Structure 1
Amino acid sequence: MTQPSTASPASPGIRTLLLMSVPALLIGIGSAVVLRALDLVSEQLMHFLWDYLPGLFGASESTPWWIFLVLTLTGAAVGAIVWLIPGHGGPDSATTELGGTPPKLMAVPTILAVSILGLAGGVSLGPENPTIAVNSALAVAVFGRLSTKIPPALLVMLAVSGTIGALFGTPVAAALVFTGMVGAMAMPGSLWDKLFLPLAAAGAGAVTMLLLGGETISFTLAPLGDYEWIFLLQGFAVAAVSAILGVLAAFVFPYLHRAFHALRNPLVFTTLGGMILGVLGIIGGPITLFKGLEQTAELLEHPDDYTPQQLALFTAVKVVALLIAASAGFRGGRIFPAVFVGTAFGLLGYALIPDMPISLAVACGVLGITLAATRDGWIAIFVGVALCGDVTVIPLLCLIILPVWLIVTKAPELVVHPKEPEKAAAAA
């Protein structure tokens, strides 16, 4: 009787990997260029809206009526594009995760338009989801036509890798994300055979972004110092509460999304969302606006300048702003605002828990809510370490994340899953 073969599928040859590296590197570079261009255009518009224009009316970026006006008009502009312009701003970011089916090429201009408006107008969403959508659509359109031998799914993966590498300024983040995915890939070979092309795209994206002067997510805080057993308990307390905050946000998310979209017309519900964001911006101040990366740096630069009450307010306002922005039809990602929330909450833990190291507090605050938002332990650990700039927290985070994972693993996800009829209507 012939025994079934247990041999592993043959790994791709060196020649195949080298040939495929060409589109991988080009997609990585292109992904970074798109992201950097998006950043530069939105930054110029942001400076116009918040630095130059308010001065003409005797206001400033922190003037309450100006905050309300800009966010309301931003909501109206985004809603009008989603409602009236072909392409309609691409897929609803509330219903998408990193990757997935790329949008049609005709949607790319409107995705870029609504993303720029949201980033410049102070909306609490990041650039990751729209940028990945644009880069995926461009990669499939360009390289899919040049060669029918490259599967569209691989092109999407390379676009995601390149964009993640550019977003975080390092290919390590993309490698960690895809380590959890490559086991299900049909591509034969070892783990590093499967990671070879995504890592090439991510590395090209990261290096290109840094050469173009892009932002990084890395900061430096006071190091942890000598280990103490109490650090495990302190870190778990901060990470667990931060994760629970993310779980509660995920529970509310679909209800808010349904309530806004029950108004039917994007011009109506996105303008309403902009008005609510304006009120939240008045309550929390300018530091709670925008995607959150520069504001995170502001918190970490002078962490002792904020009272526990202020940090609690920043945390609460940013969570609500993230939910409103994502539910009301704005396009953008949830990772960067979640990082701000985790940082503010981590600093709150640092202020309230005696003798807790600031690096551990920030890392655990970010780890908890990032884990709840992404369901990816690797990226949660990576972002936590990058934020505090202290590699000595890694062993602690690797232990702390285990019980925190049990909190989030069966909880709702921070993404809306439309019902099948709604999916069909959207596709039509």
Structure 2
Amino acid sequence: MTDLAQPAVPPPASPARALLPLVLPALVIGVGSALLLIGVSEAADLLKDVLWETLPDAVGVGPWSAGWIMTILTVTGIAVGLVVWKVHGHAGPDPATTGLVDAPMAPGVVPGLLLATVLALAGGVSLGPENPITAANIALAYWLGRRLSPGSPAQMWVALGAAGTVGALFGTPVAAVLILTESMVSAPRGGASAEGERAPTLWDQLFAPLIAAGAGGVTAVWIEAPTFRLNLPPLDSPSWPDLLAALVVASAGAVLAMVAVYAFPYVHRIYHLLPHPVLAITLGGVVLGLLGVLGGRLTLFKGLEEVGELTADPTAHSAGALVLMAVVKLAAILVACGSGFRGGRIFPSLFAGVALGLAVHSLVPEVQPAVAVTCAVLGVLLAVTRQGWVSLFTAAILAPDPGLLPLLCVALLPAWLLVTGRPQMQLNDAGTPLR
């Protein structure tokens, strides 16, 4: 006869003793992550002022003339190429093979990576600071953590560095928690650490990262007060036509961005046929200059400040001009990342989504601008990042009205069906897209 009696299960142990020692390291890493982000951004802004204001004034040329745009982006390509070639660590791995949260790199690589990032941000390259700053903070947090506590799990320090950076980027810990939740779901689940102990719950695992993200977010808000809310008219009594528009626009944004995603490995392959990184990145700078001349000054740089200018007067540009900006921005992301510039894709993709959404509203005025813009951003980010929570969160914080959130949640579903399981805008070491 089978004995159905089960052994007594001990009551779950309180995690407080394990979690409390993490509070101080999490606070330090969160604040440090924010300070590094702010420091790099400030350095890039100072150099940007020199390149795009002081120098053109000194030589008597227009800063947004075709010749100056071509010159600065070409010189930026040469400078970044030299850093990748000569500086220790070669400014980190090929940016086409990296995501937002990756395994920690050696700390000796960080100075070169940050230098290449500052040059790209200042020179007008269409990439954001998010990927390289997150990689740098993860490397430093991992290096520090493994020395202070050699037996601690490596993944904990990776999570703290990533959370502190993302919290500072968005000025809130929510985005960091969403990113880490997605990572934890896709990672193998760990069991109990010892007999009689329970496996850590989701909130046990998020406790320290949430502190780091909160510390990073608060530090950024105190120093810089970042804001993503756009100057859009509030949503006027959502109705069934708004829901239909949300579904169509989000899917259209995903389709447009997927064209860029499918082109990405080919662009990367073309640039890497060149025998030297200086040649590849310099050619990338030349092409970025041509795209900047074609799309205009708003299509340069990471895109956050330019998004505010674009939405300040949505009627200042025709639908055709807005579509051109969206296409040029996506093409610039392909060229910048494919040729070897260091930077992230979230912020410039946000600009492409905003331009596309304003174009939709211009073509079909019945589609409310808040619906068009946020849903276009949602679709573009889903295709480019393949991270549902981050895409939804980013679109939601742009919204002028919380009433848009239900529409965004529904609009995400068909857009996700269009992108899931398809190639990503990230390659493996062999140059094949991840899926």
TM-score range, shorter chain: over 0.9
1:9-408 alignment, distance < 5 Å:
10=12, 13-183=15-185, 184=187, 185-186=189-190, 188-408=199-419
What is the CA-CA distance between 1:120 and the residue it aligns to?
Answer: 0.1
AA in 2 matched with 1:88: H
Secondary structure at 1:215 match in 2: coil
Larger Rg over CA atoms: 2
Cα distance per residue 1:219-266 (max 9 Å; x no partner): 342111212111121111111111011111111101111110111200
Contact 2:163 2:176 in 1 (8 A): yes
What is the CA-CA distance between 1:274 and the residue it aligns to?
Answer: 0.2
Contact 1:12 1:193 in 2 (8 A): no
AA in 1 matched with 2:382: L
Secondary structure at 1:405 match in 2: helix
With 235-244 and 42-51 compared, the bigger mean Cα shift is at: 235-244
AA in 1 matched with 2:122: A
CA distance in 1, matches of 2:362, 2:9: 57
AA in 1 matched with 2:70: F
Contact 2:377 2:395 in 1 (8 A): yes
Equivalenced residues, count: 421
Cα distance per residue 1:181-240 (max 9 Å; x no partner): 334453733322222111111111100111111533233421112121111211111111
CA distance in 1, matches of 2:315, 2:6: 65
Contact 2:63 2:69 in 1 (8 A): yes
Secondary structure at 1:391 match in 2: coil
Structure 1 gaps, min length 5: 422-428
CA distance in 1, matches of 2:146, 2:155: 10
Secondary structure at 1:216 match in 2: coil
Quote the residue 1:425 is aligned against: none
CA distance in 1, matches of 2:99, 2:11: 30
CA distance in 2, matches of 1:65, 1:11: 67
CA distance in 2, matches of 1:312, 1:3: 68
Distance change >3 Å, CA 13–CA 57, structure 1 → 2? same
With 358-367 and 6-15 compared, the bigger mean Cα shift is at: 6-15
Whether 1:413 aligns to 2:413 is no
CA distance in 2, matches of 1:3, 1:248: 59
CA distance in 1, matches of 2:404, 2:257: 22
Cα distance per residue 1:358-392 (max 9 Å; x no partner): 11111101000111112121111111111123211
CA distance in 1, matches of 2:7, 2:260: 49
Secondary structure at 2:33 match in 1: helix
What is the CA-CA distance between 1:57 and the residue it aligns to?
Answer: 1.5
Quote the residue 1:424 is aligned against: none
Distance change >3 Å, CA 355–CA 266, structure 1 → 2? same
Structure 2 gaps, min length 5: 192-198
Contact 1:28 1:204 in 2 (8 A): yes
Calculate the aligned-residue CA RMSD, in Å: 1.9
CA distance in 1, matches of 2:305, 2:262: 28
CA distance in 1, matches of 2:236, 2:9: 49
Cα distance per residue 1:131-153 (max 9 Å; x no partner): 01110111111221111132221
Contact 2:100 2:134 in 1 (8 A): yes
AA in 2 matched with 1:172: V
CA distance in 2, matches of 1:248, 1:5: 57
Quote the residue 2:196 is aligned against: none
Contact 2:265 2:431 in 1 (8 A): no
Distance change >3 Å, CA 389–CA 55, structure 1 → 2? same
Distance change >3 Å, CA 50–CA 214, structure 1 → 2? farther
CA distance in 1, matches of 2:423, 2:176: 24
Report the TM-score when normalising by structure 1.
Answer: 0.94
AA in 2 matched with 1:282: V
Cα distance per residue 1:314-368 (max 9 Å; x no partner): 1111011110000000000000000000000011111112311111111101000
Distance change >3 Å, CA 113–CA 227, structure 1 → 2? same
What is the CA-CA distance between 1:267 and the residue it aligns to?
Answer: 0.5
What is the CA-CA distance between 1:176 and the residue it aligns to?
Answer: 1.6
With 332-341 and 52-61 compared, the bigger mean Cα shift is at: 52-61
Contact 1:220 1:390 in 2 (8 A): no
